[in-house]
Structure 1
Amino acid sequence: MSPRKIVLRFGPDISNKPVIYRLVKDYDLMVNIVKANVNPQKEGTMVLELTGEQYDRGLDYLRSCGVVVQDLTQEIVRNEEKCTSCGACTAICPTGALHIQRPEMIVCFNSDDCVVCQLCVRACPVKAMEVRL
């Protein structure tokens, strides 16, 4: 079974509970935290890759805790006609999905490594990075 990317959103009442630990321990799920913004007593967001036999039961558990679970349905695409390979997006990309290929000095994009944080969309001066739903 290949990993599925999901987004978790939760409120301050859940941010200090071990929900990810429970996914691993109780539901035998393999978790790869791709991106997280979690602070005690504040709202939190996580992007996860999740794999395992009890995937659906694990998601039901999260929902029962008050976690909003969404499939990662958006994707980032690079419009190669607009791109000037300035590299502004590569400096801001937290996963390295965007990088400069040397010695050609062109921007390369690996969508498999993208976590759809959309930082590149805001950083691109020519709007070559786009969100596709």
Structure 2
Amino acid sequence: MAVTCKKISLRFPRHLADRPVVYHLIKDYNLELNILKATISSDGGHMVLELRGSRSDFDKGIEYLTKTGLIIDTLCREVTRNEARCTDCGACVTVCPADSFVVDPLTREVAFDEEKCVVCGMCILSCPSRSMELHF
């Protein structure tokens, strides 16, 4: 059985903010998920998830989300760091909601963990040397 694993972004309109969407993805569609970022209130919201499951279950889960009326974006993009440009200033460390950056206490060099990145773009906006790049 082929396993599919993708990061998706869900936008919740106001009238769908109280729906148990995550519950149904797990229970009805056998999907494993990791919530990478979420901001949901009675006014609507946004959630970034990493979904994992069989291709069939994944497709059915996406169909459920679409029929529910959520706005889905596949995160087929990634943030990378141009090592030649990076000055290890640390501006990215303070703005990253996923803690993708860590300062080495001895060398003061900033390490970037792409696996933790939720592709929010905050590091790109804050980087004075423009070393953080978005790739599609």
What is the TM-score with the length of structure 1 in the denominator?
Answer: 0.91
How far off is 1:17 after superposition?
Answer: 0.8
Structure-to-structure mapping, 1:1-133, within 5 angstroms: 1=3, 3-40=5-42, 42-53=43-54, 54-133=57-136
Over the residues paired in the alignment, what is the CA RMSD in angstroms? Answer: 1.3
Deviations 1:96-115 (A, max 9, x none): 21111231111111111100
SS of the residue corresponding to residue 69 of structure 2 reads: coil
Question: What is the CA–CA distance in structure 2 between the aligned matches of 1:57 and 1:102, rounded to whole Å?
Answer: 46
How far off is 1:66 after superposition?
Answer: 0.5
Unaligned ranges ≥5, structure 2: none
Question: What is the CA–CA distance in structure 2 between the aligned matches of 1:63 and 1:84, rounded to whole Å?
Answer: 43
How far off is 1:8 after superposition?
Answer: 1.0
Q: For residue 46 of structure 1, what is the amino acid of its counterpart? A: M
* Aligned residues with identical type, % of pairs: 40
Q: For residue 20 of structure 1, what is the amino acid of its counterpart? A: V
Aligned length: 132
Question: What is the CA–CA distance in structure 2 between the aligned matches of 1:43 and 1:63, rounded to whole Å?
Answer: 16
Unaligned ranges ≥5, structure 1: none
Deviations 1:14-65 (A, max 9, x none): 111111111111112111110112111x232111011123111011001000
Question: What is the CA–CA distance in structure 2 between the aligned matches of 1:52 and 1:27, rounded to whole Å?
Answer: 9
